[in-house]
Amino acid sequence: MPGNLLLSIIQTYVYIYPLAMGVIWITAGLVFRWKNEHRFNGPANSPDSLPPVTILVPCCNEARSITATCESLLHLDYPDYRVVFVNDGSTDDTAVKIKSFLNHVPYFHLVNLSLNQGKARALNLALQVAVTTRIVVIIDADTILAKNALKKLVAPFLHHSRLGAVTANPIPLRRSGFWGHLQAAEFASIIGLIKRGQCAFGRIFTVSGCATAYDKNVLQEVNGFSACTATEDIDITWRIQRASYEIWFEPGAIAYIQIPMTFKDLWKQRCRWATGGWHMLRTHADIFTRWRYRRLWPLYLEFALGCLWALLLAINIFMMALTAVRASGLTGWFGPVVCCVCLIQMGTACLLNCRHDRALVKSFLFMPWYPLIYFIFIAAAVIWSLPRGLFGKLDPRAGQWQSPTRRSEQH
């Protein structure tokens, strides 16, 4: 009997938590669309009002994708920008391909590091020696910015004096196959909707590492990027907000991204993300000691509850398999209900994001698979990364990076 009661309590949390969060993010996402999304969409800014911008592109062994990135950065719709590529000790032809553009593109520059420093250290070095503008946009080496993305990213800085960063709206460039469509659905209905909802509440869990604009002065004030965490984008988001600066999500700033197309690459990515989340729980737990950080408390608690959910999901599956007991009447209706909520969430995401991503509707029917497969997949990544993330040593090697397998350069 006590075992059945415990299983019933665990099942109740495992089943209710994702449903409750789904309703919250759907509601908050719609609130953002109604009240906030067009906040900075006034008349087009004149060229004279737009400040100069530096784009930093850190890269390590990106020879397969860097040419396409360079070509996409040639003709952005922005009056004054320069691009600085930071080659972090690549052992392939990354530097050679970048140099082929330098002679005939005067606003392209290269910082060539002979030894791999890790992404965070490479960015901090480039900020010191190669960035002279107030606004710096950092993109991944395989990210393709939409032609008007810079204007969209910079506009909020012209209206908000306490803005530390503006993050872009990532859209998968290729989405073939089951994993590709599932990730496209996730980016729109989970990641994109959550960012909208969090922005409506006033605080964001993390910027998009693939494309974000920063105020360089704010980055210097918070001592740059940390090399001691697995995800420098999560950590810098929290340190900027702890310094009382705000972060904005700009849905109109489109960044086309490469997504992992194999199970192996996807597993490595999600384990790294989960490790970065555990690192955040460790390094920012002291926010509860200061009232000034109170607006970050809900974000911290929501992520901690999500990690607890992953652990309890595994325990629930194990106990049900071990005892072969259905301790709760929730089991029978959970599957259909959560699938319906996922479809509503995806429908809301299509409503909010389809004007930016016309192909999103094609991924709609993959959403019911999200709770069946992805819930277990994400929970497994969270549990697998727990020992290293929660108890492992935080050292500079955590920021060492290796690029995933890339597809061809054509886009």
| pLDDT tens digits along 276-302 | 999 999 999 999 999 999 999 999 999
Q: What is the pLDDT of residues 333-359, one digit of tens each?
A: 666 777 777 778 777 877 777 777 777
- What pLDDT does 405 receive? 56
Of the pLDDT bands very low, low, confident and very high (cuts 50, 70, 90), residue 222 is very high
* Contact partners, residue 22, CB within 8 Å, separation at least 6: 338, 341, 342, 344, 345
- What pLDDT does 402 receive? 56
123-150 in b/e form (b: 16+ CB < 10 A) is bbbbbeebbeeebbbbbbbbbbbbeebb
Of the two residues 332 and 241, the one the predictor is more confident about is 241
Residue 310 has pLDDT above 90, yes or no: yes
* Contact partners, residue 256, CB within 8 Å, separation at least 6: 143, 144, 145, 146, 170, 171, 172, 173, 411
Spatial contact of 250 and 169, defined as CB atoms under 8 Å apart: yes
Q: Which residues pair with 8 in a beta bridge?
A: none
Output the CA torsion 61→63→64→68 (10° steps). 120
| Amino acid (1-letter code) at residue 1 | M
- Maximum distance among all Cα pairs of the chain, rounded to whole angstroms: 76
Alpha carbon distance 70, 145 (integer Å): 11
- What pLDDT does 410 receive? 45
Alpha carbon distance 230, 239 (integer Å): 15
Alpha carbon distance 319, 364 (integer Å): 33
Residue 109 has pLDDT above 90, yes or no: yes
Cα first-last separation, the chain: 59
pTM for the whole structure: 0.89
Of the pLDDT bands very low, low, confident and very high (cuts 50, 70, 90), residue 3 is low
Percent of the chain with pLDDT strictly greater than 90: 53
Percent of the chain with pLDDT strictly greater than 70: 87
State the average pLDDT over residues 231-236: 95
Q: Assign 136 to helix, strand or coil.
A: strand
Nearest Cα residue to 84 out of 123, 116, 49, 119: 123
Q: What is the pLDDT of residues 385-395, one digit of tens each?
A: 999 998 888 86
* Contact partners, residue 370, CB within 8 Å, separation at least 6: 182, 185, 186, 190, 342
Q: Give backbone dihedrals phi and psi of 349, rounded to 5 degrees, phi first.
A: -65, -40
Residue 209 has pLDDT above 80, yes or no: yes
Neighbours of 340 (CB within 10 A): 13
- Which of the listed ranges 44-48, 229-233, 366-370 does the model predict with the highest average pLDDT? 229-233
| Positive or negative torsion for Cα 206, 209, 212, 216 | positive
Spatial contact of 273 and 263, defined as CB atoms under 8 Å apart: no
Question: Could you tell me the domains of the chain?
Answer: 2-31+291-392 (no CATH), 36-266 (3.90.550.10)
- What pLDDT does 324 receive? 56
Q: What is the pLDDT of residues 20-65, one digit of tens each?
A: 888 898 888 888 888 767 666 554 455 568 999 999 999 999 999 9
Alpha carbon distance 267, 249 (integer Å): 26
Of the two residues 323 and 32, the one the predictor is more confident about is 32
The pLDDT mean for the chain works out to 85
Nearest Cα residue to 53 out of 139, 179, 172, 121: 139
- What pLDDT does 185 receive? 76
Of the pLDDT bands very low, low, confident and very high (cuts 50, 70, 90), residue 306 is very high
Alpha carbon distance 343, 365 (integer Å): 8
